[in-house]
Chain A
């Protein structure tokens, strides 16, 4: 599709970019502090809501409906981006995640007062990058969008320059991230050399002939380049062995931003992995039959092994954590492993399960981090000790946290249970010995994960606080957001049909 027509499809991104520029300009002007406190979050939410409404309007066929022939997907900007239900679903997810992040950032002590404008501007730019990444259909666009997300998240991780932890996390993140993007880029250059194109459709055509990879040498080079590229993708979703940055960065970053960091990049990373592997290596329309030469690249095996190892390592490491932020970091690594099960399963069911789980994970994980942010604000720490006696001190907050933890553990009647159900169902649907083994690993891991979620519960309800810990104020935006998210977790656990319908709609990939 030509450039001029394509602009009609990236209106949400344009709105986010424009609002980010407005925020940067406003924060450069010196105005009264009173104004600053409320205007920046307000403007950020305005921009996000405008982008979200345009997006929802288009997907439901409103005035921004675009070309009706484009329902199942079109390429934009001569193949740089793709617009299809998968991209739209994940764009809606990341815009919602950023909105929740803005809401729980209000009044957080982890964010320096003087720089609110830049903080929100960077959040919007990061959201813009995530939107582009979920629609990226060309390796050039993948690289640029991924770096947009990364650069903003490096800065926001080190945002609290008063704290050693935040600065240290920022530095570690930038070093790990630089290495990961370097390795990914080297993989891209090899892939480009082997198949002579960077756009996914061009690569798909190049791979179609079974003679595209001649001999063992070509096969090795192609496998190596896919592994290198997967290093970059895996780093974004915090999959083993590229997860080392994750616990340190989550612990050091300001808690409201950690909430976004644990969900946004992971969601778009999953969208990218789905799009990359399934639109290059498979026949258009079919979700399972690989084309010509890509049968020689063991990519499905790679994703399956990474999935099993990621969830096992994440859960085992989470068992011994005493800092709740760190515990949730390891739990988010484990969740990346669970979601990769859906990617491995592939097919209509696999795509559906990934989209559904990602939405559920967004709600429960951001909710859990919102509660941690509340507790941290009141007691200045997020160690497990400060959660002691929370059931007595702040019954509502403890109840909300309980719902999130039960959902993260995947127990009914919460949304997390439905999400896991869809993932396992997708694997069983696929059949085959190795897929069943992967499902078995997943079930075992879910059981193991019960232990460390229960540890937090035990601390909240069974243990008495050592000293007089403060109660937790609940009349603020963060607490209201957390409560709303806990309602959503329960509601989707009982009435998941609307979400399942949306997930089924999202399982369409542009070819």
Chain B
């Protein structure tokens, strides 16, 4: 029997993986993928809660999140591609013309 706890633990693990990826990896593409992980973790928690509460609002939010995440990935990839064309790198540590 899969309970709410299982959903939440999995969601917390996926979210932590996403945060770790954002903090530790330096490749812009991998960071974008980690952001997707974070969004999916939130989706998982939403769906788990929606099932437990017997309420569909959480599920509808999860649907919207998936759509918006696709749009965000498109915009993010376009910007990373533009950067790669100019610099030949997608490493965020090597991109540093803006400094305070």
In this complex, the member of A169, A188, A321 whose beta carbon has the largest number of chain B beta carbons within 10 angstroms is A188
Q: Judging by beta carbons under 8 Å apart, are B58 and A190 in contact?
A: no
Given A140-B64, A147-B72, A164-B57 contact (CB < 8 Å):
no
In chain B between 62 and 95, which residues have their CB closer than 8 angstroms to a CB of chain A? 64-65, 68, 71-72, 75-76, 78-80, 82-83, 86-87, 92, 95
Please report which residues of chain A, range 460-502, place their CB below 8 angstroms from some CB of chain B when the two chains form the complex: none
A185 touching B64 by the CB < 8 A rule?
no
Q: Give per-residue flags for A154-185: 1 if the beta carbon is below 8 A from chain B beta carbons, else 0.
A: 11001001001101111110110011011101
A165 & B98 in contact (Cβ 8 Å cutoff): yes
Please classify how large the interface on chain B is, using the bins under 10, 10 to 19, 20 to 34, 35 or more: 35 or more
Asked if A193 and B49 sit within 8 Å, CB to CB, the answer is: yes
Given A158-B79, A198-B58, A326-B100, are A143 and B45 also a contact pair (CB < 8 Å)?
no
Nearest CB in chain B to that of A190: its residue: B45
- Secondary structure call for the B interface: helix
Interface residues of B in 24-52 (CB under 8 A from A): 28, 31-32, 35, 38-39, 41-43, 45-46, 48-50, 52
B43 contacts which chain A residues (CB < 8 A)?
189
Known contacts A151-B72, A171-B80, A326-B100: does B53 contact A186 (CB below 8 Å)? no
B residues within 8 A CB of A144? 64, 68
Residues of B within 8 A of A252 (CB): 98
Residues 306 to 334 of chain A near chain B (Cβ within 8 Å): 317, 320-321, 326
Considering the chains assembled together, what is the distance between the CA atoms of A185 and B64 in angstroms?
11
Contact with B along A174-217 (1 / 0, CB 8 A): 11001101110110111011001111000000000000000000
**For residue B50, which residues in chain A have a CB less than 8 angstroms away from its CB?**
192
Taking A168-B83, A192-B49 as contacts, is the C-beta distance between A175 and B32 under 8 angstroms? yes
* Known interface pairs A168-B95, A198-B57; A174-B49 also in contact (CB < 8 Å): no
Contacts A144-B68, A185-B65 known; A171 to B98 CB distance under 8 Å? no
State in angstroms the CA–CA spacing of A173 and B3 once bound together: 38
Q: Chain A contacts of B71 at CB under 8 A?
A: 147, 151
CB-based nearest B residue for A187 = B42
**Size of interface on A: residues with Cβ below 8 Å to B:** 45
Residues of B within 8 A of A254 (CB): none
Cβ B79 vs Cβ A186 within 8 A: no
**Does residue A248 face the partner (Cβ distance < 8 Å to B)?**
yes
Q: In the complex, what residue of chain B is closest to A191 when comparing beta carbons?
A: B49
Partner of B45, one of A179, A189, A196: A189
State how many angstroms separate the Cβ of B71 from the closest Cβ of chain A.
Answer: 6
Q: Knowing A147-B72, A186-B38, A186-B42 are in contact, say whether A171-B61 is a contact too (CB < 8 A).
A: no
Q: How far is the CA of A27 from the CA of B18 in the complex (A)?
A: 39
Alpha-carbon distance A147/B76, docked complex (angstroms): 13
Can you name 26 A-B pairs with beta carbons within 8 Å?
A139-B61, A140-B57, A140-B60, A151-B71, A155-B75, A164-B87, A167-B83, A168-B95, A170-B82, A171-B80, A171-B95, A174-B72, A174-B76, A174-B80, A175-B22, A175-B35, A179-B35, A179-B38, A182-B39, A185-B39, A186-B45, A189-B11, A190-B45, A192-B50, A320-B100, A321-B100
Chain A residues within CB distance 8 Å of chain B: 139-140, 143-144, 147, 150-151, 154-155, 158, 161, 164-165, 167-172, 174-175, 178-179, 181-183, 185-186, 188-190, 192-193, 196-199, 247-248, 251-252, 317, 320-321, 326
**9 A-B pairs with the lowest CB-CB distances in the bound complex, closest first:** A182-B38, A178-B35, A193-B49, A189-B45, A185-B42, A248-B98, A186-B42, A170-B79, A189-B46
